[in-house]
Amino acid sequence: AANVCLKGVTFSYDNAPPVLEQVDLSFSRGFYLIKGPSGAGKSTLLRLLCKLDIPVAGEILYQGVPYSRWDTGLLRTKLSYVQQMPVVLPGTVKENLMLPFKFNQLRSAPRPDDDRLREWLDYFLLDGVSLDSRADKLSVGQRQRLTLIRSLMLEPEMLLLDEPTASLDPQARELVEQLVEKLNMERGIGIIMVSHNDFVPRSVPARHIYVEGKKVEERKYDSD
């Protein structure tokens, strides 16, 4: 069954012409790549999916319930959004990882203990990074992996990733891509990822969604 469903969604900023018009689409817990030209509305689509923006017409449903009836905080524990540039606050790795418990009042997920946090650092191959390390001293690739771990703290069902590898060098990019695949494959977390490069997951089948000319549609991947 589809987790997130858009029905006739139209969106425009203020009084500008619509960025997206009459979009019908559904997402399950699979792996989705969002592609399309710059300025087409890919980020806007993600912002709509995590209720940072609200459609001017049509509706979005999560588990069959319209977004308007979902508590926004609760919805954002289910659909966790990671923006393009990794944002970490000055402070330790542990303080950064625990931020979701501070900012999201619902805290439905159990608070992880230090051992659990260290397991996450291992899972994301953050060797040599300890819970007491200064987060703002990490490399950009490490910070991006830290923000991914942080996005998992409230145990989301889906991750919404806006070009998570845009600011990374090829090596760091490949690592993040593999880790995102692993999250989908091993933990069943749905992935909706805006991706400019020609990344195609190796271990999981991906669906390719194109945003262009105010429309959003699934297409067969064409490597040309």
By the criterion CB under 6 A, which residues form the site for ligand ADP? Answer: 13, 19, 36, 38-44, 84, 162, 211
- Contact present, 140 and 171 (Cβ < 8 Å): no
Question: Closest separation between CB of residue 194 and ligand ADP, Å?
Answer: 7
| Residues forming beta bridges with residue 25, ordered by sequence position | 6
- Contact present, 96 and 146 (Cβ < 8 Å): yes
Question: Closest separation between CB of residue 192 and ligand ADP, Å?
Answer: 13
∠ Cα 223 83 155 (to 5°): 100
For residues 39 and 213, which CB has a smaller minimum distance to ligand ADP in the complex?
A: 39
Question: In the structure encoding, which two tokens stand for residue 137, read together?
Answer: 């001293």
For residues 85 and 204, which CB has a smaller minimum distance to ligand ADP in the complex?
A: 85
Question: Closest separation between CB of residue 161 and ligand ADP, Å?
Answer: 12
For residues 38 and 223, which CB has a smaller minimum distance to ligand ADP in the complex?
A: 38
Which amino acid appears at position 73 of this protein? Answer: G
For residues 41 and 112, which CB has a smaller minimum distance to ligand ADP in the complex?
A: 41
Question: Closest separation between CB of residue 141 and ligand ADP, Å?
Answer: 19
- Contact present, 31 and 204 (Cβ < 8 Å): yes
Question: Closest separation between CB of residue 182 and ligand ADP, Å?
Answer: 25
Residue of 157, 161, 149 whose CA lies nearest to 34? 161
Question: Closest separation between CB of residue 83 and ligand ADP, Å?
Answer: 8
Question: In the structure encoding, which two tokens stand for residue 161, read together?
Answer: 């990733």
DSSP state of 84: S
Question: Closest separation between CB of residue 85 and ligand ADP, Å?
Answer: 9
d(Cα 55, Cα 46) in Å, to the nearest integer? 12
Could you count the other beta carbons within 10 Å of the beta carbon of residue 66?
A: 12
For residues 74 and 166, which CB has a smaller minimum distance to ligand ADP in the complex?
A: 166
Residue of 206, 174, 168 whose CA lies nearest to 190? 206
Which amino acid appears at position 216 of this protein? Answer: V
For residues 15 and 105, which CB has a smaller minimum distance to ligand ADP in the complex?
A: 15
For residues 42 and 76, which CB has a smaller minimum distance to ligand ADP in the complex?
A: 42
Question: In the structure encoding, which two tokens stand for residue 198, read together?
Answer: 């020609």
